[in-house]
Amino acid sequence: MTRAFIVLTMSLLLGGAQVLRAQSARELLGQGVRAYQALEYDAAAALLEESLGRDSSGLADSLRARALTYLGATELFRGQRDSAVATFRHLVLLNPRYRPDELIFPPQVTNLFQEVRRATRAIAVAVPPVTELRTRIERFTARVLTSSLADVTVTLAREDGTLMRQLYSGPVADSLLVSWDGLTAAGTAATDGRYLLQVTPRTPTADGPRARQVLLEVKQEPPDTLAWPPEPPFLPERTSSGPAFRSLAAGLVTGAAAVALPSIMAQGKDATGARFAVGAAVGIAGFVGFFAHKPRPLEANVRKNASQRDAWMKKLDGVKTENATRLRTMRLVVRAGPETFAERRSE
Could you count the other beta carbons within 10 Å of the beta carbon of residue 216? 22
Answer yes or no: do 337 and 190 share one domain.
yes
Note the pLDDT of residue 304: 86
Q: Specify if 234 maps to a domain.
A: no
Cα end-to-end distance, the chain, whole Å: 68
CATH number at residue 22: 1.25.40.10
Percent of the chain with pLDDT over 90: 44
User: In the Cβ-directed half-sphere of 322, how many Cα atoms lie within 13 Å?
Assistant: 12
Burial (CB < 10 A; 0-12, 13-18, 19+), residue 26, is: middle
Last residue of a domain, one of 119, 147, 162: 119
Q: Specify if 229 maps to a domain.
A: no
pLDDT tens per residue, range 154-197: 999 999 989 999 999 999 988 899 999 999 999 989 999 999 99
State the pLDDT confidence band at 233, using cuts at 50, 70 and 90: confident
State the pLDDT confidence band at 208, using cuts at 50, 70 and 90: confident
Answer yes or no: do 190 and 336 share one domain.
yes
CATH number at residue 160: 2.60.40
pLDDT tens per residue, range 258-308: 555 555 444 545 555 665 565 566 556 555 555 655 566 777 877 887 888
State the total domains in the chain. Answer: 3
Q: Which of 150, 161, 249, 245 is CA-nearest to residue 197?
A: 161
Note the pLDDT of residue 317: 92
Answer yes or no: do 274 and 174 share one domain.
no
Answer yes or no: do 45 and 90 share one domain.
yes
pLDDT tens per residue, range 18-48: 444 447 888 999 999 999 999 999 999 999 9
State the pLDDT confidence band at 340, using cuts at 50, 70 and 90: confident
Residue 336 near residue 129, CB atoms below 8 Å: yes
**204: containing domain:** 123-222+331-341
Note the pLDDT of residue 101: 92
Could you count the other beta carbons within 10 Å of the beta carbon of residue 20? 14
Note the pLDDT of residue 262: 58
Could you count the other beta carbons within 10 Å of the beta carbon of residue 85? 19
What is the DSSP annotation of 111-161? HHHHHHHHH---EEEE--SEEEEETTTS-EEEEEEESS-EEEEEEEEETTS
pLDDT tens per residue, range 98-157: 889 999 999 999 999 999 988 888 898 999 999 999 888 899 999 999 988 889 999 999
Note the pLDDT of residue 346: 43
pLDDT tens per residue, range 61-103: 889 899 999 999 999 999 999 999 999 999 988 888 888 999 9
Q: Which of 317, 177, 294 is CA-nearest to residue 240?
A: 294
State the pLDDT confidence band at 257, using cuts at 50, 70 and 90: low
Q: Specify if 228 maps to a domain.
A: no
Answer yes or no: do 27 and 107 share one domain.
yes
